[in-house]
Amino acid sequence: MTTATAIIDISTLVTNDPSLGEGPLGLLQNAAVVIDGDRIVWVGESSKTPATDNQVDAGGRALLPGFVDSHSHLVFAGDRTAEFNARMSGRPYSAGGIRTTVAATRAASDQDLEENVARYVREARRQGTTTLEIKSGYGLTSQDEARSLEVASAFTDEVTYLGAHVVPPEFADDPAAYVDLVTGPMLDLCAPHARWIDVFCEQGAFDGDQARTILTAGAQRGLTPRVHANQLTQGPGVQLAVELGAASADHCTHLSDADVDALAQGDTVATLLPGAEFSTRSRYPDARRLLDAGVTVALSPDCNPGSSFTSSMSFCVALAVREMGMTPDEAVWAATAGGARALRRTDVGRVAPGARADLTLLDAPSPVHLAYRPGVPLAAAVWHGGTLV
């Protein structure tokens, strides 16, 4: 293993592989990990580390899989400081604010958009996020959606077509014509650049019938559905997501018992986005209820300029523990393995031979510190595909 690097003296290693360690997090104490190229090649006791050319001493700190962020809206221009200020003085959040960002995004150059995405991807990486899904959704013309997806593709393979974010102003009098565009010419232009299709199924955005039409059209073009569901109201989004075999139903804030049952019986991951509830001053989703029903839960910051302008997964872990009834271990799993499930990935979100060398070293002895020390930048070193960020 001459070109390999060994990371030794890890106090607590989160493998997320119960066959390698203790409990659902597959915890190993006094561990080491060997990486070679972009892969993990060995995991075990630090005292048994094979000889390698390079060695990094973790110094008794914790190592975990890089965070897997399965939900972000990074292709945008401008910000919504004024809307945030108004909200903090009591104005409610509504889907309508999205149109402010649409106007700024349409007016931006390709270079401006690329620089913005690069900035937020860098920001997320520095904080330990190594896999990042990125959506379109602030262009809402065929050209602007396609260029948003092309910009996103330069940063990730996890690209999501969200032409159905809201109905843009020029279609306000004829939303059916906009659905025709999203499922017709816009889809033609966008499908080659995306892996996923998403719809904001919500009052003020798209209803259940429109969402079904859009997701089905996308699926016919090879895009797998994911749904913005039940964020602001108890709508049809979650049950539609499960029915269509969506990879993920995201937000899941307002759920009926039937919604929880559907998630428990289906394969759709419930991705919870507590940064949105923090910034919109709404009640948090009840993660405990979902976990107790046997639902697979993921966490994501939902980074976007309107409802949740944070790229910090550790902030979400802290919120999930303090506000949503998750244990620290459950929240760490949701931020890593849960995100991987939501993206149907088996090569990330775990530390095991063969997995990608995506790793986050914490400046702390245990991953519990992510929740225990909120707001503290604990990512001491981040490997992305074997390269130190």
Quick one: 130 or 304, whose CB is closer to ligand NIG? 304
CB contact burial 303-330 (16+ within 10 A = b; e otherwise): bbbbbbbbbbbbbbbbbbbebbbbebbb
Residue 307 binding partner per list Fe ion, ligand NIG, none, with a CB distance cut-off of 5 to 8 Å that depends on partner kind: ligand NIG
Residue 279 Cβ vs ligand NIG, minimum distance, rounded to whole Å: 9
Residue 106 Cβ vs Fe ion, minimum distance, rounded to whole Å: 19
The three-state secondary structure class of 315 is helix
Angstrom distances, CA of residue 365 to CA of 62, 177, 250, 269, 345: 5, 56, 32, 30, 28
Adjacent-strand bridge partners of 89: none
Interface positions, 151-170, toward Fe ion (CB under 5 A): none
CB contact burial 372-389 (16+ within 10 A = b; e otherwise): eeeeeebbbbbbbebeeb
Interaction between residue 150 and Fe ion (CB under 5 A)? no
Residue 312 binding partner per list ligand NIG, Fe ion, none, with a CB distance cut-off of 5 to 8 Å that depends on partner kind: none
Quick one: 116 or 366, whose CB is closer to ligand NIG? 116
CB pairs under 8 A, 24+ apart, for 353-357? 353/39, 353/40, 353/41, 353/42, 353/43, 354/39, 354/40, 355/39, 355/40, 355/65, 356/38, 356/39, 356/40, 356/130, 356/385, 357/35, 357/36, 357/37, 357/38, 357/39, 357/40, 357/383, 357/385, 357/386
In one-letter notation, the amino acid at residue 277 is E
Residue 65 binding partner per list Fe ion, ligand NIG, none, with a CB distance cut-off of 5 to 8 Å that depends on partner kind: none
Residue 369 marked as a ligand binder = no
Residue 253 binding partner per list ligand NIG, Fe ion, none, with a CB distance cut-off of 5 to 8 Å that depends on partner kind: none
CA angle (344, 184, 156) in 5-degree steps: 35
Tokens standing for residue 373: 């020390």
Residue 71 marked as a ligand binder = yes
Residue 147 binding partner per list ligand NIG, Fe ion, none, with a CB distance cut-off of 5 to 8 Å that depends on partner kind: none
Residue 183 binding partner per list ligand NIG, Fe ion, none, with a CB distance cut-off of 5 to 8 Å that depends on partner kind: none
Adjacent-strand bridge partners of 270: 249, 297
Quick one: 29 or 233, whose CB is closer to ligand NIG? 233
Residue 266 marked as a ligand binder = no
Residue 296 binding partner per list ligand NIG, Fe ion, none, with a CB distance cut-off of 5 to 8 Å that depends on partner kind: none
Angstrom distances, CA of residue 229 to CA of 225, 235, 270: 12, 7, 10
Site string for Fe ion, 283-302 (x = CB under 5 A): -------------------x
Residue 47 marked as a ligand binder = no
Residue 250 Cβ vs Fe ion, minimum distance, rounded to whole Å: 6
Residues of this chain that interact with ligand NIG (CB under 6 A) are 73, 97-98, 101, 200, 228, 231, 276, 302, 304-308
Residue 111 Cβ vs Fe ion, minimum distance, rounded to whole Å: 25
DSSP H or E segment with residue 328? helix 328-333
Among residues 184, 263, 267, 256, the alpha carbon closest in space to that of 224 is found at 267
Q: Alpha-carbon distance 267 to 71, whole Å?
A: 18
Quick one: 117 or 359, whose CB is closer to ligand NIG? 117
Residue 92 Cβ vs Fe ion, minimum distance, rounded to whole Å: 17
Residue 339 marked as a ligand binder = no
The residue of the chain with the least Cβ separation from ligand NIG equals 306
Quick one: 218 or 306, whose CB is closer to ligand NIG? 306
Quick one: 237 or 338, whose CB is closer to ligand NIG? 237
Helices (DSSP H) in 96-139: which residue ranges? 98-107, 110-126
Helices (DSSP H) in 67-108: which residue ranges? 81-88, 98-107
Site string for Fe ion, 297-336 (x = CB under 5 A): -----x----------------------------------
Binding residues for N-formimidoyl-L-glutamate: 138, 304, 306
Binding residues: 71, 73, 80, 138, 165, 228, 231, 302, 304, 306-307
Positions touching Fe ion (CB under 5 A) are 302
